[in-house]
Amino acid sequence: MRLLRHHSSLAWPYLAGLIVLVALPLLGTLWLALTEFSGIVAPRFVGLANFETLIGSDRFWLSLGNSLVYVAIAVPLRLLGTVAFALLLNNRFKGAGAARAVAYLPTVVPDVAYALLWLWILNPLYGPLTAGLEALGASSPGWLTDPWAARFSVAFMGAFQIGEGFVIALAARRSIPQRLYEAAAVDGARPLLILRRITLPLMAPILAVLALRDVLLSFHTNFVPALIVTGGGDPRYATFYLPLYVYQTGFRYGRLGYASAITVAIFAIMAIILVVQYRLLRRWRLT
């Protein structure tokens, strides 16, 4: 049954809002990226000079590499946690509501407080993590002094804050019709087979959206930990991520034009990642 009506006119308020609040500002940043601008004197047009500096800048490539490493560690960890929690806590049992709240709790802790707390947990002298590992007879690396340990620590911190994805994955699991599981039970299918053939494929379209978003967000969410926990990208710039680079360039050194150029570069990189992901999702028929 076809219903071709002129519904597209309904979209105009939305489109207008997008243009004013999203598209125009984007052009504004693009323009600033082509200028030298300190925030005090009017911007001076310099063409592509900022981008030339950017390509030759070691700090840019360093922070990009660090950000990619962060995404590569944090996103799989977070997705795994999201799916595992959604499946575990989907069942009805006594205290399920409380258990779901526990899963969700770390996400509600404000970022600054959360970062300060981890600073204590990762403390090499009195921290409970080091103490716990030593009690088990294992030695622990200097969590915030060894470059790779610091990279993992920051990613690990982020892996606790998955409450948002968790509620959505839970809803996705809930939307799978119960009759499929009943039919599988009648056929005597094993849990692993049910997981592979029913649960995961039917949750896939939603998990795909979550993964896509998580990759993009992970380029930004490491700002507060990098600022507070590793004190601005230490040790030896191992946690010097892109947002920190933008922040330092723009707000500490007052080079707003160059900072805009970095932002535009990040945007371009994320756009490429989005297109690749979206293509893959299309090919797998997930969207």
Partner 1 sequence: MAYAAERLPGEEKKGLGGRLSRFLSKGPLHVLLIGLALFWLTPSFGLLITSFRTAADNSESGWWTVFTEPRQLTLEPYKKILANDGLITAIFNTIKITLPASVLVVLIAALAAYAFSWMEFKGREWFFLFVVTLIVVPLQMALIPVARIFGIVNIFGTVTAAIVFHIAFGLPFAIFLLRNFFIGLPHELLEAARIDGASEWQIFARIVLPLGMPAIASLLIFQFLWTWNDLLVGLVFAGENPPITVFIQQQLRQFGANLEVIAPGAFLSMILPLIVFFAFQRYFVQGLLAGSVK
- For partner 1, the closer CB: 233 or 243: 243
The amino acid sitting at 133 is L
- For partner 1, the closer CB: 56 or 179: 179
- For partner 1, the closer CB: 20 or 80: 20
d(CA 166, CA 79) in angstroms, rounded, equals 9
Residue with tokens 């990040």: 266
**Nearest approach, Cβ of 149 to partner 1 (angstroms)?**
18
Measure the CA dihedral 107/113/117/122, to 10°: 80
- For partner 1, the closer CB: 2 or 283: 2
Could you tell me if 257 and 43 are in contact, meaning their C-beta atoms sit under 8 angstroms apart? yes
3-state secondary structure of 1: coil
- For partner 1, the closer CB: 53 or 287: 287
**Nearest approach, Cβ of 211 to partner 1 (angstroms)?**
12
- For partner 1, the closer CB: 237 or 267: 267
**Nearest approach, Cβ of 75 to partner 1 (angstroms)?**
15
d(CA 287, CA 282) in angstroms, rounded, equals 6
Of 229, 234, 219, 179, the C-alpha closest to 202 is 179
3-state secondary structure of 35: strand
> 58-88 and 200-218 are packed helices; what angle lies between their axes, rounded to 10 degrees?
150
**Nearest approach, Cβ of 72 to partner 1 (angstroms)?**
19
Could you tell me if 83 and 90 are in contact, meaning their C-beta atoms sit under 8 angstroms apart? no
Token pair for residue 184? Answer: 């599988």
d(CA 96, CA 23) in angstroms, rounded, equals 44
**Nearest approach, Cβ of 148 to partner 1 (angstroms)?**
22
- For partner 1, the closer CB: 110 or 137: 110
Could you tell me if 84 and 162 are in contact, meaning their C-beta atoms sit under 8 angstroms apart? no
Token pair for residue 268? Answer: 């371009």
**Nearest approach, Cβ of 209 to partner 1 (angstroms)?**
5
**Nearest approach, Cβ of 13 to partner 1 (angstroms)?**
9
Of 141, 154, 159, 147, the C-alpha closest to 229 is 154
